[in-house]
């Protein structure tokens, strides 16, 4: 099974972006997906693979938080 998690793009530098998974920040590749600061993207295996709208991204992140709290 593969997991892909939404994140907000905070900074862009070349083909990389600093993204925020609601407090957890990582650098990921945006080489496959043109995006801009403020976009929400789906991240899988260190790559932004698609965009999603803010409302859906925030709902998904909340669900992830709830799942992780149950662990």
3 pLDDT higher than 90: no
pLDDT on residue 62? 87
State the distance between the two ends of the chain, measured CA to CA, in whole angstroms: 18
Mean pLDDT of the chain: 91
DSSP state of 23: T
Range 24-46 average pLDDT:
95
- Indicate the SS3 state at residue 12: strand
Q: What is the dihedral of CA 6, 56, 60, 33, to 10 degrees?
A: -20
pLDDT on residue 1? 61
Closest CA to 63 of 1, 23, 20, 5: 5
pTM here?
A: 0.86
């Amino acid at each position: 099974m593969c997991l892909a998690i939404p994140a907000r793009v905070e900074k862009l530098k070349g083909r990389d972006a600093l993204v925020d998974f609601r407090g957890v920040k990582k650098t990921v590749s945006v080489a496959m997906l043109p995006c801009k600061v403020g976009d929400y993207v789906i991240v899988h295996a260190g790559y932004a693979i698609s965009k999603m709208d803010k409302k859906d991204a925030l709902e998904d992140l909340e669900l992830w938080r709830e799942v992780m709290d149950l662990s």
